[in-house]
Structure 1
Amino acid sequence: MTMSIMTKSNKATRIDMFNFSSVQMRTFHLTWLAFFLCFFGWFGLAPMLQIVRDDLGITTDQIVTTNMVAVASTVFMRLFVGWLCDKIGPRITYTWLLVLGSIPVMLVGLSQSYEQFLIARMFIGAIGASFVITQFHTSVMFAPNVVGTANATTAGWGNLGGGVTQQVMPFVFAGALAYFGSEHLAWRYAMIAPGFLLLVMGFVYYRYTKDTPEGNYSEIEEKVAHSKSGNSGKVFKEALKDYRVWALFLIYGACFGVELIVNSKAALYFADYFTMDLKTAGLIAGLFGLMNLFARSLGGMLGDKFGKSNGLKGRVKWLFVSLFCQGIALVIFSRMGTIPTIIGSLLVFSIFVQMSEGATFSVVPFVNKKALGAVSGIVGAGGNAGAVAGMFLFKKELTGLEWPESFMILGFIVVAVSFTVFAVKFSPVMEKEAEKEMEELLASVKETQLSPKRVPA
């Protein structure tokens, strides 16, 4: 059964959602689920920040600073885990990230001051590096004809955790409040739940995934030779020197970075500017993340579609369209002043931002296949770097801006960044190689589909 969905390189050529026997599809499901749970740890505090702010006696600007630190720490971790995936493989890398990341999530409730809370959020931010491993692991499991869709779907369903977190954690908080009878204790105990889930997921990931379709790095001689040769350092340097990687770094900062900003700000924005209670603000903010259920996958699917019909250039042009529209949608969102219009514009913006993310990682696997982990790490880090830079717009003491104006300026920045997409170019040789690979792949898929129907002479 497994071989029917494989190419000669053992990469899956289609996404069979209900096939749990193949290592490709097991990895597909476990990698998005792991990323999904990481969002509970990473952003579990977001819908409770109003309570945390009052309990610790800190200011909104200090909350913004903790958000920035949580996101900034992810930048360095994404660079590190990208290199680590190339060196020791995604399975061990993800396992350790999940297990170690669960610790600060469960212990953040011990914070009694702004400084302690800041340090805890810095360590929690490392969990955000999970995205790079998710994209790397999916990329090595799926063939070029579906890799954009696979990457976008695992990332999108994982990102769905951001929206679900906004909606679920207020109820976890409410349950803790009912049991302990104190807001001071409730938010602290509420964070134990996502930390425990991360710990369990670490052991599940180790048990049921493999590094590649052929097996773990430790089981494949050439992989062992590769990891011991120091080659991972060389390919990382190659990625650092490629201007296209840095263009994608900026682009991903303008889409995923903006998503992180909205994820961390939405509930507080609705509570402060639209006088909503905690549960209502969390539910509406959660709608933003829920679009990940289909929007990011759609962005990757369209990337694959344009890639089949127009080559690598088609993928790049689609990325420009989605990112440009995202910027315009964010500007419109910033101008809305009623609850119905703010919800409608939020949903439209959410669709475009997540399609842009899917479109970005439908391009990434083709930039440098030998340095896939490094490229994924650098581009992924761009998302967090963009979030940190963008969050300065929301520090009122620094800019003097109200949050609606901050969102508007951010939207215009996204529009400007969209034009850097045209710096992502591929040589005629790379275009021909990609075209040839796609033709051979499609021929292989067609042959596989027809072979069971052949009747022996």
Structure 2
Amino acid sequence: MKSYRSNKATKLNLRDFKSVQMRTFWITSLAFFLCFFAWFGIVPFMPDVVKDLGLTPSQKWNSIILAVSGTVFARLAIGKLCDKYGPRLCYTYLLVFGAIPVILLGFVQTPLQFMVCRLFIGFIGASFVITQFHTSIMFAPNIVGTANATSAGWGNLGGGANRLGMPLIAAAVVSFGVADEIAWRYSMVIAGILCLAMGLVYYFFTQDTPEGNFQELKEKGEMPVLKKDEASFSSVLKDYRVWILFFVYAACFGIELTVYGTMDDYLQNRFGLDRTFAGNLVLSFALMNIFARTLGGYFGDKFGNTKGVRGRVLFLAVMLGAEGLMLSFFSMTTSIAVGMVFLIAFSLTVQMAEGATFSVVPFINKKAIGSISGIVGAGGNVGAFLAAILLKSKSAVAESSALIKSNGLGEEAMKAAQTAASASAVSAGYFLIGGCILLAALVSLAIKFTGSEEVVASNKLNVLLADK
């Protein structure tokens, strides 16, 4: 019986747009970019949304948490669906149906409607799992970490590019005579239409594997039909390494989401930066995904090729440790110059840790890459959810206490006290989160691979390289 993974690419040739492996790489990266662009598309317009819908501070925080929470369930489900139906159909349906709440967000009239839409928009964050699954079955072990990290990193750019792209779309809409205060509605509709169009592109221009689509291969007898699907998924759930990687991804991607989601306000409150400058700084850190996450996957592959799968784990632990230290040091700085050094270092290491994580994932259980990717990917959103809850609770308590103590001193004094309290609370929260990341680094060292697993990975790589 022919293996449906026998023609994996052993090189990542970015100038190649014709081979099925590289065509899939480019399309899945673009699809992921658009999903993140739409997922966080409302962020640049939040001041307009708050004014238009009358959101309270609590409702604003809750909408952020809901947008992250919805992704957890979607990622857990989509991985198993990928294993069964293939990434092509899963991505097509996700893009088409995910476009609906994005479009509907442009028509909301109440805070409740807004939060419901943000919850369901979060489902398109599951696109990450499909992207990692699709590149994992298109690229060989010697390059899979680099391919996974690059496609994910470039896709993540959508979460930063929206800070520039969405205002530009809004400006174009305004130029056609639309009122500035409602331009955000039209912008979200346009973002949803782009996702819908991308779903059609994915259906017609990609395929599940280098040899063809899952259904076709099953009909030809070239791909085994997994009759023990439930047993296979059960074995995934029982594998301790999957849950360690769940924790690890919570400590890198989850923390990146929360830190960058709160960094604008923190930079203003802590260092007195104006909103525009703070926003541009955060955008520049997000743009580091162009290369930083790729570096994590690249060095993960390098260590894997020379020291086996264990080498990938060791590199991951080092990156996590560096990430935790950089965030902790940043939280203690009071100088903007020194703070920027640590924040840049944090941005680099957290994204490299993300790339390194998914240089390990494909080697846990090759028969259930989708399920494992879904569980690990969901860990990122669980981490973001817990970190957001931590920062929200600490900030709320500190601000309330500051307002009570400064009551009667005047509005300006109360505002200053509230700002200082918020900065101090978030700083303490960042330090605590840094400690949790260091714990994740230590726990990651518990990931072990048997001698037979190392041999299988090495033998498969040798066969693939010999065929090229």
What pairs up with 1:2-13 in 2 under 5 angstroms?
9-13=6-10
User: In the aligned structure 2, how far is the partner of 1:64 from the partner of 1:429?
Assistant: 48
The one-character-per-residue Cα deviations of 1:258-311 (angstroms, maximum 9, x if unpaired) are 111134323344455555555433322111211111111100010110011111
User: In the aligned structure 2, how far is the partner of 1:175 from the partner of 1:345?
Assistant: 37
Percent sequence identity over aligned pairs: 49
Residue 365 in 1 paired to residue 362 in 2?
A: yes
Residue 152 in 1 paired to residue 175 in 2?
A: no
User: In the aligned structure 2, how far is the partner of 1:355 from the partner of 1:163?
Assistant: 17
The one-character-per-residue Cα deviations of 1:146-174 (angstroms, maximum 9, x if unpaired) are 11111111111111212212233233344
Q: What is the CA-CA distance between 1:176 and the residue it aligns to?
A: 4.3
The counterpart of 2:456, out of the listed 433, 437, 441, is 433
What pairs up with 1:223-372 in 2 under 5 angstroms?
229-271=226-268, 273=270, 278-372=275-369
Q: Please, what TM-score do these two structures have when normalized by structure 2?
A: 0.88
The one-character-per-residue Cα deviations of 1:207-227 (angstroms, maximum 9, x if unpaired) are 110000110112112688978
The counterpart of 1:420, out of the listed 443, 447, 458, is 443
Given that 2:67 and 2:121 are in contact with CA atoms closer than 8 Å, whether structure 1 keeps it comes out as yes
Given that 2:214 and 2:223 are in contact with CA atoms closer than 8 Å, whether structure 1 keeps it comes out as no
Q: Unpaired segments of 5 or more residues in structure 2?
A: 399-421
| 1:76 aligned partner | 73
| 2:382 aligned partner | 385
User: In the aligned structure 2, how far is the partner of 1:213 from the partner of 1:182?
Assistant: 49
User: In the aligned structure 1, how far is the partner of 2:104 from the partner of 2:283?
Assistant: 25
Given that 2:102 and 2:121 are in contact with CA atoms closer than 8 Å, whether structure 1 keeps it comes out as yes
The one-character-per-residue Cα deviations of 1:326-364 (angstroms, maximum 9, x if unpaired) are 111112222344554444433221110110000000000
The one-character-per-residue Cα deviations of 1:237-275 (angstroms, maximum 9, x if unpaired) are 111111110000000000010111134323344455555
| 2:419 aligned partner | none
| 2:406 aligned partner | none
What pairs up with 1:440-451 in 2 under 5 angstroms?
440-442=463-465, 444=466, 448=468
Q: What is the CA-CA distance between 1:196 and the residue it aligns to?
A: 1.7
User: In the aligned structure 1, how far is the partner of 2:315 from the partner of 2:274?
Assistant: 39
CA distance 1:286–1:370, change in 2 (3 Å): same
| 1:163 aligned partner | 160
Helix, strand or coil: the match of 1:220?
Answer: helix
Structure 1 range deviating more: 100-109 or 223-232 = 223-232
User: In the aligned structure 2, how far is the partner of 1:183 from the partner of 1:232?
Assistant: 52
User: In the aligned structure 2, how far is the partner of 1:123 from the partner of 1:167?
Assistant: 24
Structure 1 range deviating more: 8-17 or 130-139 = 8-17
- The one-letter code sitting in structure 1 at the alignment partner of 2:53 is L
Residue 95 in 1 paired to residue 92 in 2?
A: yes
Structure 1 range deviating more: 168-177 or 120-129 = 168-177
CA distance 1:71–1:227, change in 2 (3 Å): farther
- The one-letter code sitting in structure 2 at the alignment partner of 1:260 is L
Residue 63 in 1 paired to residue 60 in 2?
A: yes
User: In the aligned structure 1, how far is the partner of 2:151 from the partner of 2:123?
Assistant: 19
Residue 34 in 1 paired to residue 57 in 2?
A: no
User: In the aligned structure 2, how far is the partner of 1:250 from the partner of 1:315?
Assistant: 17
Given that 1:89 and 1:217 are in contact with CA atoms closer than 8 Å, whether structure 2 keeps it comes out as yes
Given that 1:393 and 1:399 are in contact with CA atoms closer than 8 Å, whether structure 2 keeps it comes out as no
Q: What is the CA-CA distance between 1:120 and the residue it aligns to?
A: 0.7
- The one-letter code sitting in structure 2 at the alignment partner of 1:241 is K
| 2:199 aligned partner | 202
Helix, strand or coil: the match of 1:141?
Answer: coil
Q: What is the CA-CA distance between 1:322 and the residue it aligns to?
A: 0.3
Residue 124 in 1 paired to residue 133 in 2?
A: no
| 1:451 aligned partner | none
Q: What is the CA-CA distance between 1:119 and the residue it aligns to?
A: 0.3
Helix, strand or coil: the match of 1:134?
Answer: helix
Given that 1:69 and 1:118 are in contact with CA atoms closer than 8 Å, whether structure 2 keeps it comes out as yes
Given that 1:88 and 1:227 are in contact with CA atoms closer than 8 Å, whether structure 2 keeps it comes out as no
Given that 1:291 and 1:347 are in contact with CA atoms closer than 8 Å, whether structure 2 keeps it comes out as no
CA distance 1:186–1:282, change in 2 (3 Å): farther
Q: Unpaired segments of 5 or more residues in structure 1?
A: 1-6, 449-457
CA distance 1:282–1:167, change in 2 (3 Å): farther
| 1:143 aligned partner | 140
Q: Please, what TM-score do these two structures have when normalized by structure 1?
A: 0.90
| 2:433 aligned partner | 410
CA distance 1:230–1:88, change in 2 (3 Å): same
User: In the aligned structure 2, how far is the partner of 1:241 from the partner of 1:147?
Assistant: 25
CA distance 1:246–1:32, change in 2 (3 Å): same
User: In the aligned structure 2, how far is the partner of 1:333 from the partner of 1:178?
Assistant: 42
User: In the aligned structure 2, how far is the partner of 1:228 from the partner of 1:432?
Assistant: 26
Q: How many residues align?
A: 439
User: In the aligned structure 1, how far is the partner of 2:297 from the partner of 2:241?
Assistant: 19
The counterpart of 1:220, out of the listed 217, 221, 237, is 217
| 2:410 aligned partner | none
Q: RMSD between aligned alpha carbons?
A: 2.3
The one-character-per-residue Cα deviations of 1:362-400 (angstroms, maximum 9, x if unpaired) are 000000001111111101110111111111122146553
